């Protein structure tokens, strides 16, 4: 009886340590984030207010991968991926700029939004996929910066 009591007390004391262990999804996200940092991408969790007309609302805060823009780039824009391969701006107009459409076509369907201002280019992504998807994202951000 004493042995079972000691074992149960030890199990009760050690059970919170299991909560500190990363889940499989968290481990995959962390490895993608570290690989993105090696590729020169910065990452942060950014709170977002998504448009009401999106069919499926992405999470908030959402992982944002970003890169600084080159000097002399003054164009500002923002596009959301409505369905795989269909990109709309805030007025629900499709992306008609050929340079952007070509880059957007190479992005995975798990990318929610791409936006650019004078200082940086940012991409909001669900962090699903492997390192090849991350390479596609890095190439897209590089070509748009």
Residue 129 CB burial class (10 angstroms; 0-12, 13-18, ≥19): middle
The pLDDT value given to residue 78: 93
- Domain assignment of residue 3, yes or no: no
Tell me the per-residue pLDDT of 16-54, one tens digit each, with 9 for 90 and over: 767 777 788 887 888 888 888 888 888 898 898 888 888
Structure tokens at 62: 């959402």
Question: Is 129's pLDDT higher than 90?
Answer: no
Question: What b/e string do you get for 11-33 counting C-beta neighbours within 10 Å, with b at 16 or more?
Answer: eeeeeeeeeeeeeeeeeebeebb
In DSSP terms, 114 is beta-bridged to 79, 123
- Domain assignment of residue 112, yes or no: yes
- Domain assignment of residue 7, yes or no: no
Tell me the per-residue pLDDT of 66-121, one tens digit each, with 9 for 90 and over: 998 888 888 889 999 998 889 998 899 998 899 999 999 999 888 999 999 989 99
- Domain assignment of residue 54, yes or no: yes
Residues 6+ apart with CB under 8 A from 101: 87, 95
- Domain assignment of residue 8, yes or no: no
- Domain assignment of residue 2, yes or no: no
The pLDDT value given to residue 70: 86
Task: Yes or no: say if 49 and 57 are a contact pair by the CB < 8 Å rule.
Answer: no
- Domain assignment of residue 60, yes or no: yes
What mean pLDDT do residues 109-137 have? 88
pLDDT band at 2 (very low <50, low <70, confident <90, very high): confident
* Domain interval for residue 95: 23-144
In DSSP terms, 120 is beta-bridged to 68
Number of domains in the chain: 1
- Domain assignment of residue 71, yes or no: yes
The pLDDT value given to residue 80: 93
């Amino acid at each position: 009886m004493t042995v079972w009591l000691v074992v149960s007390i030890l199990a009760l004391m050690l059970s919170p340590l299991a909560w500190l262990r990363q889940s499989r999804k968290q481990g995959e996200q962390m490895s993608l984030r570290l690989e993105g940092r090696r590729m020169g991408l910065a990452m942060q969790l950014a709170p977002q207010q998504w448009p009401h007309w999106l069919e499926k609302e992405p999470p908030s805060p959402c992982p944002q991968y970003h890169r600084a823009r080159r000097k002399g780039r003054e164009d500002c824009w923002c596009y959301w991926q409505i369905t795989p391969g269909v990109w709309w701006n805030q007025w629900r107009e499709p992306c008609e700029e050929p340079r952007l459409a070509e880059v957007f076509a190479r992005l995975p369907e798990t990318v929610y939004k791409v936006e650019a201002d004078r200082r940086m280019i940012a991409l909001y992504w669900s962090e699903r996929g492997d390192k090849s998807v991350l390479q596609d994202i890095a190439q897209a951000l590089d070509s748009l910066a």
